[in-house]
Copies of this chain bind each other. A is one copy, B any other.
Amino acid sequence: MNASAPVNEATRARVLAVARELRFAPNGSARALSRRRTGALGVVLPDLYGEFFSELLRGLDQEAQRADHSLLVSSSHHDARGVGFAVRAMRGRVDGLVVMAPEVDPAGLVDVLPGGVPTVLLNAAGVQAEIHTISVDNAGGALAMTRHLLALGHRRIGFIAGAASNADAREREHGFGAALSEADLPHDQTLVVRGDFTEASGWRGAKTFVALADPPTVLFAANDAMAVGALSALRDSQLDVPREMAVVGFDDIPVAAFLNPPLTSVHVGIAELGAHAAALLLRDLAERPPPGTPPRHELLPTQLAIRGSCGSPGGTLIPSLTHRTARHGHPSTSTT
């Protein structure tokens, strides 16, 4: 049935007929045990909420499927212990591992990973160990976006940060700060409020900024979910976006281009990130690189997706930047 050896055609037909009759399907565990190959990739995530993880999974699944692999998913792992537990539970059940744990110290993370299984760490830059890493250029993206806002004339930028415990959030915040320094602008702490990457926290963050005596002219949310919340809050406060207060986000989740107004964001190829991670694993699996082969450490570049939600504070929009929309006349393809 596996076509692993030459067989008489008649015999094969007979076997196949009986197999069908018995509704036979091979037992995956037995198969995996014997051939030392499971046909599955393990995915360990901190969470499963929102379009970011949805897209990541989609990319992973897409690539895994090309190699007839499925995904063993385990989420809600916020500390090293939890990740270690999840990863151990996957031992012998997966051929490779994709781990994303932005709240866990990378050093401690490496300790809990089992050897012998090809592993890719997502967004765990700075890991020394012999493990593949693929990371989004968080700092670079935030830097570029902030520069863009400054170029538009914004001087008071309200930053809605993510949780301090989240490495991605910290890097984005650093990128933002770097751009301010670059422009010799002060790091005004009243212009940073901390959220937690949820829409609700973005909503609260925006409300905080609106209540300020001298409110910012633009809000930079450290992810799109919070930007969505911010847009909603500004609408509730009857403020026009971008005229009275602009909003930009980070991630460029699929819905961003369809928001009202369309959300300017730092485009991250989320699905590509997942697809790339899976491809890396599958390549290792297929080619069995000799021991000592150095791991890959890749940095996924970001791009600015300029849409309608950012404006210049004086109301003077710069068409070439703010209206750089659809490649094919359609919002869904409007990232640049």
Contact = CB atoms under 8 A, between A and B. Distances in A.
Nearest to A262: B232
A295 B65 CA distance: 32
Interface string A40-75: 100000001111011001100110010010111111
A92 B235 contact: no
Contacts of A33: 27, 29-30, 33
A268 interface: no
A161 B235 CA distance: 29
A331 B73 contact: no
Contacts of A40: 72, 93
A260 B230 CA distance: 11
Given A89-B70, A255-B228, A331-B232, A38 B29 contact: yes
A92 B91 CA distance: 16
A73 B49 contact: no
Chain A interface bracket (under 10, 10 to 19, 20 to 34, 35 or more): 35 or more
A199 interface: yes
A215 interface: no
B91 A200 contact: no
A115 interface: yes
A231 B203 contact: no
A33 to B, nearest CB: 4
B50 A54 contact: yes
Contact of A92 (B31, B88, B90): B31
A229 B89 CA distance: 41
A23 interface: yes
Name the residue in A90, A198, A255 with the highest tally of chain B Cβ atoms < 10 Å from its Cβ: A255
Contacts of A29: 28-30, 32-33, 38, 92-93
Interface in A81-103: 86, 88-93
A301 interface: no
A288 interface: no
Name the residue in A62, A90, A260 with the highest tally of chain B Cβ atoms < 10 Å from its Cβ: A260
What are the 7 tightest A-B residue pairs by CB atom distance, in nearest-first order?
A: A27-B92, A28-B93, A54-B54, A260-B260, A25-B91, A28-B92, A29-B32
Given A61-B73, A70-B86, 14 more contacts: A23-B115, A49-B254, A50-B54, A54-B57, A65-B76, A70-B90, A71-B72, A71-B74, A199-B258, A200-B331, A203-B258, A203-B330, A229-B258, A236-B331
